[in-house]
Amino acid sequence: MPRLVGVGIAKQMHYTGDVIDAAEALRVGLVNEVVSAGNLMNYVKDIANKILSKGQLAVRSSKMAINEGMQTDIDRAMTIEANIFAICFSTGDQEEGMNAFIQKRKPQFKER
């Protein structure tokens, strides 16, 4: 039986100029949600509000870890993650998040 290998759709589309519709992009995992054009702004605002409800230092740090970690080897990525975790874990927002979880209430994050 021949060995099967996967083909990366994003690179294939980039190199060939092929275009796919939203349903196909969802099916192959290029997007995680498909919404109607008329509902797009509400959908985006809902996601933005959800992100804004989180600790902003943690959100920024997560973005930095993803961006830096994608461009490096696993050892360096683990170091980046450990350093960012240490910074985030030492904040008042971390304590507030834990207390809110224990008390079953919404956290009131302050660090920007």
Domain boundaries, the chain: 7-52, 54-112
Q: Which numeric CATH code is attached to 54-112?
A: 1.10.12.10
For range 27-39, the mean pLDDT: 91
For range 37-52, the mean pLDDT: 94
In this predicted structure, the answer to whether residue 36 has a pLDDT above a threshold of 80 is yes
- Average pLDDT for the chain: 89
Q: Which of 21, 82, 81, 88 is nearest to 59 (CA)?
A: 88
Q: What integer pLDDT is reported at residue 4 of this predicted model?
A: 63
| Cα–Cα distance, 44 to 12 (Å, whole number) | 28
The two tokens of residue 25 are 């992009």
In this predicted structure, the answer to whether residue 79 has a pLDDT above a threshold of 90 is yes
**pLDDT by residue (tens digit) across 87-96?**
988 999 999 9
